[in-house]
Amino acid sequence: MNKKGGKHRGLSDSLINVIFNSVAVNHRFFRGYESVVNILGSLSVVFTLSFLTFFFASGYIPPTLAPNISSPFEFALLIVGACVSLILHEVSHVIILANHGIRAKSMGISVTGIFGAYVQADMDLETYRKVKLPFYSCGVGSNLLIFLILFVLSDTIMPAITPAAAVSCWFLILNSIPAPLMDGGKIFESQLESMRIERYTTLISVSILMVWLLAVVYRFAIL
């Protein structure tokens, strides 16, 4: 167990070092990347809220997001899409930290409690407040970016990669839900703080849930 943990930590440290050094050398490029995924991250929460509201009201899921997996190749693409989404998500967190001169302490997969990946870093409260929004936005922003790329390719010249596009979208939706413990929740919280209306967080969250509930009631009422 210790040997495996040591190997994992060594791999994590090596990857973090590579990213940190790459950001230092190509600072302008990664600053541009941060700007793009930051915007996409904020849009991801809007996209997810809109998509879920539409789904609860109509019960409809676009075929692209529910492909028929009928072969080992398509299943493999599903797994590849999930892995790419996960890796890019966590690497983007490390990149944004490096952009702000912060070296991530560790990154990896958590199998205790809620299953998922993580990036850890040591910083004071003031620094955390400064990087909070870009840190959380970049993860889901990178997922929206990879989904858009895969979707365009699958809808034009590479329809075979539709399973990868689908799973990347669901990964995006899961992470950008404005709920506690999710990146979307932190983005939602940060946006409310920037507008100085964070005291209404609970009210706004309950209102969103009520809209979804009414959408479901409406859908079944017209059946």
Q: Is residue 13 in some structural domain? A: no
Q: Is residue 178 in some structural domain? A: yes
Q: Is residue 142 in some structural domain? A: yes
The pLDDT assigned to 1 comes to 29
Q: Is residue 186 in some structural domain? A: yes
**182, 196 Cβ separation under 8 angstroms:** no
Give per-residue pLDDT as tens, 124-141.
888 998 899 999 999 999
Locate 15 and state its tokens.
């990857």
Q: Is residue 72 in some structural domain? A: yes
Domain that holds residue 63: 31-100+130-221
Compute the average pLDDT of residues 22-37: 94
Q: CB within 8 A of 139, min separation 6: which ones?
A: 41, 89, 90, 92, 93, 175, 183
> How high does pLDDT run on average in the chain?
87
The pLDDT assigned to 5 comes to 47
- Residue type at 150 in one-letter notation: L
Distance from chain centroid for Cα 61: 20
The pLDDT assigned to 182 comes to 86
Domain count, the chain: 1
Q: Is residue 36 in some structural domain? A: yes
Q: Is residue 12 in some structural domain? A: no
Compute the average pLDDT of residues 35-47: 92
pLDDT-derived band at 149, boundaries 50, 70, 90: very high
Give per-residue pLDDT as tens, 45-59.
999 999 999 999 888
pLDDT higher than 60, residue 10: no
Give per-residue pLDDT as tens, 62-102.
988 998 888 999 999 999 999 999 999 999 999 999 999 99
pLDDT-derived band at 111, boundaries 50, 70, 90: low
Alpha-carbon gap, residue 204 to 223, rounded angstroms: 29
Q: What is the pTM of this model?
A: 0.85
Q: Is residue 11 in some structural domain? A: no
